């Protein structure tokens, strides 16, 4: 690890190099991602299931995606109470942080006859992709919390 005192010429030069390098993706990668996004937008859950089978869980069945109340209750009983408290604390901290980032509706009338503003309306539902190892056996729990 290299430490650059800031502000200094060396730190500014290093930061400039980092910013200039940007993120580089090949056209092939960009095309593949765009194709997936277009497919999901057009075909919804059917496309999501197809990609989940292809990339994460080949044996996934739609029934596997539906969680019953009984399964939820059994899972809650099986979870170590210390782990559950840690998750609840993480949820509180993450939620508190992101609440501060929420855009807010605002309106202004800077002069007669002028009405400016922004109306922010939440979406009814959103999907969350939770990456995991092959077969989805080791999901990244933090992705669920931050999703």
Map out the domains of the chain as residue ranges.
Answer: 68-107+129-147
Residue pointed to by tokens 């991602």: 33
How far apart (Å, rounded) are the C-alpha atoms in residues 113 and 116? Answer: 10
pTM for this one?
0.51
Question: How confident is residue 134, by pLDDT bands cut at 50, 70 and 90?
Answer: low
Mean pLDDT, the chain, rounded, equals 86
Percentage above 90 pLDDT, the chain: 41
Which pLDDT score, from 0 to 100, does residue 42 have?
A: 96
Convert the pLDDT of each residue in 101-119 to its tens digit. 988 999 999 999 999 999 9
Average pLDDT over residues 71-86: 94
């Amino acid at each position: 690890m290299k430490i650059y005192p800031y502000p200094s010429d060396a730190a500014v030069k290093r930061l400039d190099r980092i910013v200039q390098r940007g993120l580089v993706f090949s056209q092939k990668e960009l095309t593949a991602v765009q194709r997936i996004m277009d497919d999901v937008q057009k075909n919804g859950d059917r496309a999501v299931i197809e990609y989940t089978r292809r990339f994460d869980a080949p044996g996934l069945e739609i029934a596997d995606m539906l969680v019953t109340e009984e399964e939820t209750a059994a899972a809650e009983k099986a979870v170590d109470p210390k782990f559950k408290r840690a998750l609840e604390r993480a949820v509180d901290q993450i939620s508190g942080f992101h609440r501060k980032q929420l855009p807010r509706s605002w309106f202004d009338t800077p002069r007669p006859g002028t009405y400016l503003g922004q109306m922010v309306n939440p979406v009814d539902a959103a999907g969350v992709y939770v990456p995991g190892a092959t077969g989805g056996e080791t999901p990244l729990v933090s992705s669920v919390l931050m999703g």
